[in-house]
């Protein structure tokens, strides 16, 4: 099997987190190749970056409206993409352990979108930061939405870090936000405003929708669902309906109890039966 065939197999067999990482790396490699072919020096911008990055001038959205999403798949340098794919790998896989891959993709795309909006707004209406950023690239806004979203939903979930031990998720999220706030006084203020835009989206959406239901992101997914035609009234047995409602209520109570346990003690404290039950419900 050739190297290309092996990459294709890994891509198609991977989950949504793997696919996003492969796409970001592929775009980064293509960007480098174009720069080499054009003979560009460090700091110079090739046509791909110029065409798909987000400009700080809001009028540019009329020329290339796709850039408010596509900038989230471009990166400035190797360290930039390395940090982003590492965080996406760990936080993304934690996210899909409890929610669906479509929900993660929704957060990634919408976090990128709202991060781009805050970038443009900050560069045009905050004079203190004017001129410090002209182009926006990077997946950090989308990743921030995923990170802050899952941390808001289950803040007391604990991750085991090497050399440190168990750390609550909200501690890590607070540190992540603090780095962006501190960096607002630097040369990449616009980029960190974008991170905060993604974070704000993740926090506000989960806070609004956090009713302890397993499908807390259905509001986003409903935008892409086909509307069904009204059904004719069908008379059913009252006894059957009552039993169905009781079973649904009981299932939801079990889900709520398991999620509360995860929030307080972490996923690893679940019993084998609880993990299997949660997995079955997530497949429905």
> How do the domains of the chain map onto residue ranges?
3-221, 238-283
Whole-structure pTM over 0.95, yes or no? no
Distance of alpha carbon 136 from the chain centroid: 18
Mean pLDDT of the chain: 81
- Give me the CATH code for the 3-221 domain, please: 1.20.1540.10
Residue 218: pLDDT above 60?
no
CB 196 within 8 A of CB 202: no
Query: What tens digit of pLDDT does each residue of 7-24 get?
Result: 788 888 889 999 999 999
What is the percent of the chain where pLDDT is above 90?
44
H helix intervals, the chain = 3-13, 16-38, 47-52, 60-63, 67-70, 78-95, 101-125, 140-153, 169-182, 189-209, 218-221, 238-265, 272-283
Query: What tens digit of pLDDT does each residue of 97-135 get?
Result: 988 999 999 999 999 999 999 999 988 887 555 445 578
């Amino acid at each position: 099997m050739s190297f290309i065939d092996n990459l294709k197999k890994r891509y198609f067999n991977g989950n949504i987190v793997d696919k996003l990482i492969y796409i970001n790396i592929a775009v980064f490699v293509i960007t480098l190749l174009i720069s080499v072919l054009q003979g560009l020096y460090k700091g110079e911008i090739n046509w791909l970056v110029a065409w798909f990055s987000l400009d700080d001038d809001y009028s540019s959205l009329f020329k290339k409206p796709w850039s408010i999403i596509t900038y989230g798949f471009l990166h400035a340098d190797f360290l930039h993409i390395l940090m982003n794919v590492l965080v996406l790998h760990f936080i993304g896989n934690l996210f899909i352990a409890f929610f669906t891959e479509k929900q993660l993709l929704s957060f990634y795309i919408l976090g990128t979108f709202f991060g781009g909006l805050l970038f443009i707004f900050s560069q045009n209406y905050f004079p203190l930061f004017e001129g410090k950023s002209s182009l926006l690239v990077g997946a950090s806004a989308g990743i921030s939405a995923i990170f802050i979203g899952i941390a808001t939903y289950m803040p007391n979930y604990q991750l085991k870090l090497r050399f440190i031990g168990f750390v609550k998720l909200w501690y890590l999220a607070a540190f992540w936000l603090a780095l962006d706030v501190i960096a607002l006084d630097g040369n990449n203020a616009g980029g960190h405003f974008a991170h905060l835009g993604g974070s704000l989206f993740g926090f506000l959406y989960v806070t609004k929708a956090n009713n302890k239901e397993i499908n807390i992101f259905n509001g986003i997914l409903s935008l892409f669902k086909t509307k069904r035609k009204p059904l004719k009234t069908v008379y059913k047995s009252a006894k059957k309906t009552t039993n169905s409602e009781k079973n649904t209520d009981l299932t939801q109570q079990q889900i709520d109890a398991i999620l509360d346990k995860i929030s307080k003690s972490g996923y690893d404290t679940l019993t084998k039966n609880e993990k299997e039950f949660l997995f079955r419900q997530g497949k429905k």
